[in-house]
Structure 1
Amino acid sequence: MDLIRADMYQSKKRNQKWKYCVGTGRLGLALQEEYVKHLKQVQEEIGFRYIRGHGLFHDDIGIYQEVEIDGAMQPFYNFTYIDRIFDMFRELKLKPFIELGFMPGKLASGMQTVFYWKGNVTPPKDYQKWADLIQATIEHFIERYGLEEVLTWPFEVWNEPNLTGFWENADQQEYFKLYQITAETIKRIHPDLQVGGPAICGGSDHWVDAFLDFCRDEKVPVDFFSRHAYTSRPPEKTPDYYYQELEPPEDMLEQFKSVRRQIEASDYPGLPFHITEFNTSYSPINPIHDTLLNAAYLAKILVESGDLVDSFSYWTFSDVFEESGVPKSLFHGGFGMIALHQIPKPTYHLYHFFNQLGETEHFRNDQLLITQKQDGTVVVLAWNLAMEKGSGFSTTVSFQLPFETNKPIFRQRKRVTEQFGNAWNVWKQLGRPRFPTQQQIELIKQSAMPIIETEQILSDHLTESIVLEKNEVTLLSYIPVTDETASYPLLNDRQLTSY
């Protein structure tokens, strides 16, 4: 690769859209201890602003109830569990990006469900009761957390209604009815509350024009557009896994661009555009999510997507997740950045690396992102995506960094490779134990950390040439040093250069 020179820099402020939101399994999982441990770790080391998940109105949260009063069944709204969950989110400095769904069992018009946990995906049998539920829930949030706070919460109507598995018959007109009644109910509570949708998945982008035209024609409020994005091809299925080939990362970026073009060509140019789910595979049992390849693949997407959309939410932060059932092994292809037993995956390290980058971006290309912090520290992210099977595929990246004086520099390199920071590989070497012993868990945890290399160097114009292994993700930090060695005269007099 050609040398990246300092005079090639085009400096600008880095946006933080990559950490705007993160996905979670259904909200009821937030009542589990391990889920909370994972989320605390994510917030301490990465620090997302919003969190989005399914199941606000699922029966395990129990918001919608019916009680018999004077011989008639009347709605009763129970906020015991959702208060506990949202209070915990707020303690961790997270705001909810609220998905309004699925249908409470007692309000559902049919029996169709999705997932192991049976989220009901049929329309309400009584739209007035649905509107009352929306109003009561949001008014409760305002009473508990304050209007000023809730005005910062986006409300997204449903999840992937363009799929028959998530909305009965994928009935577009019925979804538009649900959206209109929901949006108008929300705006009657307060006109500045944010509402949007339709949270469609890829492959149905005719919904983009249809949804925006509907909102225009019927004068239905819409404050943002939401869509999901994955790049996996049809699966080869086994009892334990889905195996799927991936399109190149550019495919996902093109998905973002194409929908943005449709929005800009509509009657709503400039409408905020949120990717409320994205990942490589759409399956929660695809081994790729556990691998180093997943991290290297996503690096370019994290670097470039902030130029195209207003947010993009990784699906999901944790393997405490049950769409396909209770996980059948430690590593099972789950969406999470963190595996069970609080073991970080390579994708977690990618996000943690991103959170250590500087506020100013100097340079980027398909393998490199050069940034700088306010204190002068230069932080570089480099990756080597190689989707081909087999060994080899290492590459060299060369770049130049400017430093004003010939002062000592502390150089640190954190590497995630097949051998280091890759817990999945160690689990394979242990024979893929489904339910590992405590000793095995501890061994895998210890192996899950990136390797760290350090040295002190001298240079006024540092030129680096680093070799990246196949799918390696590396973070390099260059920290100016104030050398106090001369303040130890005894050490200098004795010339203890080895100390």
Structure 2
Amino acid sequence: MKANFTVNLTGNTEAFPHYWELCVGSCHAYTALRADYQRMLKRAHDELGFKYVRFHGLLDDNMSVYTVNMLTGQELYSFHNIDVIFDFLLSIGMKPFIELGFMPSALASGEQTCFLYKGNITPPKNYDKWFELLNTLTKHLVDRYGIDEVRTWFFEIWNEPNLKYFWAGTKDEYMKLYDYSSRAIKQVDSLLKVGGPASSGNAWIPDFIAYCEENKVAVDFISTHHYPTTDPLSTHHEVDIEAIMKMDEEEKMLAFAALMNPHYERGVMAVMTQKAKQEAGELPLYYTEWNSAAFPYKQDDPYAAAFIVKTLTDNVGLVEGYSFWTFSDIFEESVQQSLPFHGGFGLLNIDGVPKPSYHAFRVMHDLGNERIPTETCEVETLELLATKKNAGLSMVLYNHNAPEAEIVGAQVCITFLGDLTGKKASIQIIDEYHANPKRKWVEQGSPEYPTKHQLEELLQASEVIRKPVELKQLPGGEWYLELTVEPHSVTSIDIE
């Protein structure tokens, strides 16, 4: 198939903010004490530009934040582990996007938990003590890091309370939790940024805003999550995971399949964002979780790279910040997988090997901040994003379609309206045959625990190689490039 693009170098440009670099997600807070976690996060910050990190479990029992002495009944606060993590983040130039949860068991009204690490998901048995905990923690953070620094942070209340798996209370009880939380934080300083509802699939946004307005509760931003595989257009918000888990295995599989369906439409993430943007009104909108799927499905493959570039391009101007879930396969929610490639959420695998998705963020990071107009290609799955960078151009050509939908490779010609005399072009490719360490791993026999030599091969296979391409000129003076692209691929093009 042949495809043609035209890039107008003399046309008006528009701003191209790198909003997706605001934040990245990770496994629960306690893992941030690990040396390999810290090493990988620093790399993601340095190479991909992420500014904040968000994780569950800041208040979990393994963080020792809130306990009660069994003999005396005395309440004990310990913020040492939080300090160690936040000190590290600041030392590498990052900041925390603070998710306040889950419930310390000593303060919990019940015993329901989520994940392997057993985060308690019940409301507090005493809301005044919850207020005191958050108020004391906030004062501690301000005392330690300074009010000017903490004012740049975000305080997000809970995680996906519309899902029974993460919140055993009702919607009204979440609103009460947010009320107490916001007042506890704002009592320390009114300029600290507090928001919610941190919901799955755009849920509860209108109701949340209405509650805050009616009860005069401060809210500075709206946060929600979206995955294209989990009810992307929010036709249902309540999911009773507990009921599903009580089913027999066949019913359970059918129920989960109905919730997590890979058969979604191309570009659905932007449709979701437009809906949430409208509901958020004047409040800033942050998607604090997103990925190509909410379960293991092609996250290790070039498909994920093309999906990421498509999604980031589509959502420019619709959202203030994104937080990809997650930067690493250091991930303990159900089990810490040892397989190097198992469909984990991470951009880096458990051994720190970059996946195609990692390189998608890297080529997007390398783009400029001014977008150049391009003419739309006649091939629906192909799109070109062009930006000015220094005295040259930085572009990304991507070929993406929804899972199971038809997609083919193409011969692409890019024509430039403008003078490129003296310029040279180079490309970097992410596809089935380039920067795809999973392919090498399969060739190795899919070892669960790669040897040192095998790991070196995987790292080598993960590299993106820059190679020159010829800039040609027509007799009439127009410059052009000719490229071949594979299905579900990303090609970074630099002209300088």
Q: TM-score, normalising length from structure 2?
A: 0.88
Which deviates further from its counterpart, 131-140 or 443-452?
443-452
Distance in 2 (CA, whole Å) between partners of 1:5 and 1:412 is 16
Give the AA of the match of 2:413.
S
**Structure 1 residue 274: Cα displacement:** 0.6
Matches within 5 A, 1:206-285: 207-232=204-229, 244-264=261-281, 270-283=282-295
The 3 A distance-change label for structure 1 pair 147 and 388 is closer
Distance in 2 (CA, whole Å) between partners of 1:60 and 1:92 is 24
**Structure 1 residue 377: Cα displacement:** 1.8
| Structure 2 equivalent of residue 371 of structure 1 | 387
Distance in 2 (CA, whole Å) between partners of 1:228 and 1:181 is 23
Among 440, 455, 469, the residue aligned to 2:454: 440
**Structure 1 residue 2: Cα displacement:** 3.7
The alignment partner of 1:288 has SS state of coil
Residues 1:98 and 2:108 are matched in the alignment: no
The alignment partner of 1:343 has SS state of coil
Distance in 1 (CA, whole Å) between partners of 2:268 and 2:404 is 20
The 3 A distance-change label for structure 1 pair 469 and 222 is same
CA contact (8 A) 1:293 1:387 kept: no
Residues 1:427 and 2:441 are matched in the alignment: yes
**Structure 1 residue 33: Cα displacement:** 1.5
RMSD: 2.4
**Structure 1 residue 399: Cα displacement:** 2.3
Residues 1:173 and 2:172 are matched in the alignment: yes
| Structure 1 equivalent of residue 240 of structure 2 | none
| Structure 1 equivalent of residue 127 of structure 2 | 127
Give the AA of the match of 1:406.
T
Distance in 1 (CA, whole Å) between partners of 2:197 and 2:306 is 30
Distance in 1 (CA, whole Å) between partners of 2:428 and 2:260 is 30
Q: Provide, for residues 221-252 of structure 1, a one-character-per-residue CA deviation record: whole Å limited to 9, x for no partner.
A: 11111100001158969xxxx98524134211
The alignment partner of 1:351 has SS state of helix
| Structure 2 equivalent of residue 324 of structure 1 | 334
**Structure 1 residue 390: Cα displacement:** 10
| Structure 1 equivalent of residue 321 of structure 2 | 311
| Structure 1 equivalent of residue 248 of structure 2 | none
CA contact (8 A) 2:400 2:407 kept: no
- Structure with the larger RCO, 1 or 2 (CA within 8 Å, 6+ apart): 2
CA contact (8 A) 2:123 2:168 kept: yes
| Structure 2 equivalent of residue 16 of structure 1 | 18
Distance in 2 (CA, whole Å) between partners of 1:244 and 1:424 is 23
**Structure 1 residue 190: Cα displacement:** 0.8
Which deviates further from its counterpart, 379-388 or 271-280?
379-388
Give the AA of the match of 1:258.
K
**Structure 1 residue 27: Cα displacement:** 1.1
Distance in 2 (CA, whole Å) between partners of 1:4 and 1:53 is 42
When Rg is computed on C-alpha atoms for both structures, the one with the higher figure is 1
**Structure 1 residue 281: Cα displacement:** 1.2
Give the AA of the match of 1:56.
L
| Structure 1 equivalent of residue 142 of structure 2 | 142
**Structure 1 residue 208: Cα displacement:** 1.6
**Structure 1 residue 96: Cα displacement:** 0.6
Distance in 1 (CA, whole Å) between partners of 2:339 and 2:384 is 35
The 3 A distance-change label for structure 1 pair 388 and 85 is closer
CA contact (8 A) 2:7 2:417 kept: no
**Structure 1 residue 456: Cα displacement:** 6.4
The alignment partner of 1:84 has SS state of helix
Q: TM-score, normalising length from structure 1?
A: 0.88
**Structure 1 residue 404: Cα displacement:** 4.0
Q: How many residues align?
A: 463
Residues 1:186 and 2:185 are matched in the alignment: yes
CA contact (8 A) 1:249 1:300 kept: no
The 3 A distance-change label for structure 1 pair 120 and 188 is same
| Structure 2 equivalent of residue 489 of structure 1 | none
Among 443, 452, 474, the residue aligned to 2:466: 452
| Structure 2 equivalent of residue 86 of structure 1 | 86
Give the AA of the match of 2:120.
N
Distance in 2 (CA, whole Å) between partners of 1:427 and 1:434 is 10
**Structure 1 residue 457: Cα displacement:** 4.7
Residues 1:466 and 2:483 are matched in the alignment: yes
Q: Which segments of 5 or more consecutive residues in structure 2 lack a partner in the other structure?
A: 232-251, 377-381
Distance in 2 (CA, whole Å) between partners of 1:390 and 1:198 is 34
**Structure 1 residue 455: Cα displacement:** 4.8
Distance in 2 (CA, whole Å) between partners of 1:464 and 1:310 is 34
Distance in 1 (CA, whole Å) between partners of 2:11 and 2:341 is 41
**Structure 1 residue 14: Cα displacement:** 1.3
CA contact (8 A) 2:229 2:260 kept: no
The 3 A distance-change label for structure 1 pair 219 and 367 is same
Distance in 2 (CA, whole Å) between partners of 1:177 and 1:445 is 49
CA contact (8 A) 1:121 1:167 kept: yes
The 3 A distance-change label for structure 1 pair 301 and 386 is closer
Give the AA of the match of 1:149.
E
Give the AA of the match of 1:317.
F
CA contact (8 A) 2:68 2:75 kept: yes
Q: Provide, for residues 61-97 of structure 1, a one-character-per-residue CA deviation record: whole Å limited to 9, x for no partner.
A: 11112236xx631222112111111111111111111
Identity score, percent: 33
Distance in 2 (CA, whole Å) between partners of 1:332 and 1:37 is 21
Residues 1:55 and 2:52 are matched in the alignment: no
**Structure 1 residue 273: Cα displacement:** 0.7
CA contact (8 A) 2:124 2:130 kept: yes
**Structure 1 residue 440: Cα displacement:** 1.2
**Structure 1 residue 467: Cα displacement:** 1.7
CA contact (8 A) 1:360 1:371 kept: yes
Residues 1:410 and 2:424 are matched in the alignment: yes
Distance in 2 (CA, whole Å) between partners of 1:135 and 1:83 is 16
| Structure 1 equivalent of residue 238 of structure 2 | none
Give the AA of the match of 1:272.
P
Among 336, 343, 358, the residue aligned to 2:346: 336
**Structure 1 residue 145: Cα displacement:** 0.6
The 3 A distance-change label for structure 1 pair 8 and 129 is same
Q: Which segments of 5 or more consecutive residues in structure 1 lack a partner in the other structure?
A: 265-269, 480-499
| Structure 2 equivalent of residue 111 of structure 1 | 111
CA contact (8 A) 2:472 2:481 kept: no
Among 323, 336, 349, the residue aligned to 2:359: 349
Distance in 2 (CA, whole Å) between partners of 1:13 and 1:114 is 42
The 3 A distance-change label for structure 1 pair 215 and 316 is same
Q: Provide, for residues 100-139 of structure 1, a one-character-per-residue CA deviation record: whole Å limited to 9, x for no partner.
A: 1000111111110001111110011111111111011111
| Structure 2 equivalent of residue 67 of structure 1 | 69
CA contact (8 A) 1:8 1:363 kept: no
Among 449, 474, 478, the residue aligned to 2:495: 478
